[in-house]
Amino acid sequence: MGLIEIASGNSIWRGMDYYNEKKVVSWEKTGPDSYSGMVSGNRAEPYTVHIDRQHPRKSVCNCPFAYGMRVICKHMVALLFTAEPETAENFMKEVEKYEAEEEKRAQQHCADLKKYVKSLSKSELQEQLLNALVQLEERGRYY
């Protein structure tokens, strides 16, 4: 698994923001699959970041979220996207593809619901509506 696959959604999207805002102050390739750099953040001094594409859990950052942990932070993602812009582009293409597929699934689901409702007799429809209203009311009591 790579950095993106093990990072949280929040780290990825915040890292994308940092990439787009050009918060990576400096970076260098330190090996065939590794980069080191400085990334601006919430404090005055930039964070020191090292990412290892081959062994993502060996990536480190001195930010409060990742320091001493084996997690992927937004600074690591920003460094990856800056060093490899094609990775950012591929990620966004995958997101767009997923969203387009999700839209198709939602449209199909809506069409299936319409077909189902139209297939019901008046009494079946009334019974289904009553059951749905009772379930909604019960949920309201517990949430």
Q: Is the overall model pTM greater than 0.85, yes or no?
A: no
Burial of residue 15 (number of CB atoms within 10 Å: 0-12, 13-18, 19+) = buried
> Measured between alpha carbons, how far is 135 from 13 in angstroms, rounded to an integer?
36
| Structure confidence at residue 42 (pLDDT) | 83
> Measured between alpha carbons, how far is 53 from 66 in angstroms, rounded to an integer?
16
- pLDDT-derived band at 141, boundaries 50, 70, 90: confident
Give pLDDT tens digits for 60-83: 999 999 998 889 999 999 999 999
Give pLDDT tens digits for 94-130: 999 999 999 999 999 999 999 999 999 999 999 999 9
For the chain, domain boundaries: 3-83, 92-142
